């Protein structure tokens, strides 16, 4: 039975439960958004689902341009080439390049070719006496990887600066074939996760899901979560988490 026949019969790996979402590419629906020109968006998660952030995949035609945002914006190029205009300069980003644009920073994002980018937007939560977040433009290849809890089969790259100025983090995590998290995590942070390479098994709540490149996962606060890589090739994902803010907003 081929892929189209499965869709005709209503079969999909996508699943929504109260504390998590698995969204697979066969269920993606594109939509335009105000202010964006020649860009379509797959809106993976948003406040309508109860999330405190929005994560999308932006699909650009050559010359496509993002509209403005009232929030912070993080952009990670999946393929193609994109220019970010900010601070009086033009910055070209290719696959693996990324930018963090603080809330209120005037900027433009323009595709030089057909391109796709992961896009995360979140209203900024200021903290008393914290410094102002800074504009970041970088390539993932320039970031050093560290072993998670000393396990060199699970390498993490922290793409965002850390410190009181920043209220979220974005990392890439790469698992060697057969590697898995050392514990089931249960915590207050919520996640947005995009599979970039390979695949494996994800535990979300009381369910276990096969996942592969292209899948998106949202994990709500306190959702039990665990991942193990399966196959002959490494598994890699891009993961967002809220960070460094008191639950009571103080």
Q: Distance between CA atoms of 202 and 224, rounded to whole angstroms?
A: 10
CA of 8: how far to CAs of 11, 13, 225, in Å?
A: 8, 14, 31
Q: Distance between CA atoms of 210 and 71, rounded to whole angstroms?
A: 33
Q: Distance between CA atoms of 82 and 92, rounded to whole angstroms?
A: 6
Q: Which residues of 133-167 are buried (b: 16+ CB within 10 A; e: fewer)?
A: beeebbebeebeeeebeeeeebbbbebbeeeebbb
pTM of the model: 0.96
For the chain, which residues score pLDDT lower than 70? 1-7
pLDDT at 250: 74
Q: Distance between CA atoms of 99 and 181, rounded to whole angstroms?
A: 28
pLDDT at 1: 47
Q: Which residues contact 153 (CB under 8 A, 6 or more apart)?
A: 175, 176, 178, 179
Number of Cβ atoms within 10 Å of the Cβ of 118: 22
Domains and CATH numbers, the chain: 20-140 (2.60.120.10), 144-242 (2.60.120.10)
Q: What 3-state class would DSSP assign to 82?
A: strand
């Amino acid at each position: 039975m081929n892929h189209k026949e499965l869709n005709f019969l209503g079969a999909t790996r996508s699943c929504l439960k109260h504390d998590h979402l698995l969204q697979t590419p066969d269920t993606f629906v594109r939509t335009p958004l105000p202010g964006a020109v020649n860009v379509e968006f797959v809106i993976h998660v948003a406040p309508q689902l109860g999330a405190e952030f929005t994560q999308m995949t932006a699909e650009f035609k050559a010359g496509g341009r993002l509209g403005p945002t009232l929030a912070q914006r993080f952009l990670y190029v999946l393929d193609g080439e994109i220019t970010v205009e900010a601070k009086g300069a033009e910055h070209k980003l290719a696959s693996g390049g990324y930018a963090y644009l603080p809330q209120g920073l005037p900027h433009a994002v323009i595709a030089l070719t057909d391109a796709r980018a992961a896009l995360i937007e979140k209203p900024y939560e200021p903290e008393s006496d914290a410094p102002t977040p800074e504009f970041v433009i970088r390539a993932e290849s320039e970031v050093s990887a560290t072993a998670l809890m000393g396990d060199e089969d699970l390498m993490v790259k922290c793409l965002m600066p850390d410190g009181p100025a920043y209220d979220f983090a974005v990392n890439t995590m790469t698992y060697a074939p057969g590697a898995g998290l050392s514990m089931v995590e249960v915590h207050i942070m919520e996640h947005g996760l995009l599979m970039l390479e390979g695949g494996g098994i994800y535990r979300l709540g009381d369910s276990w899901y096969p996942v592969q490149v292209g899948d998106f996962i949202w994990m709500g606060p306190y959702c039990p979560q665990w991942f193990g890589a399966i196959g002959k090739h490494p598994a890699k994902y891009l993961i967002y988490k809220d960070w460094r803010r008191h639950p009571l907003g103080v």
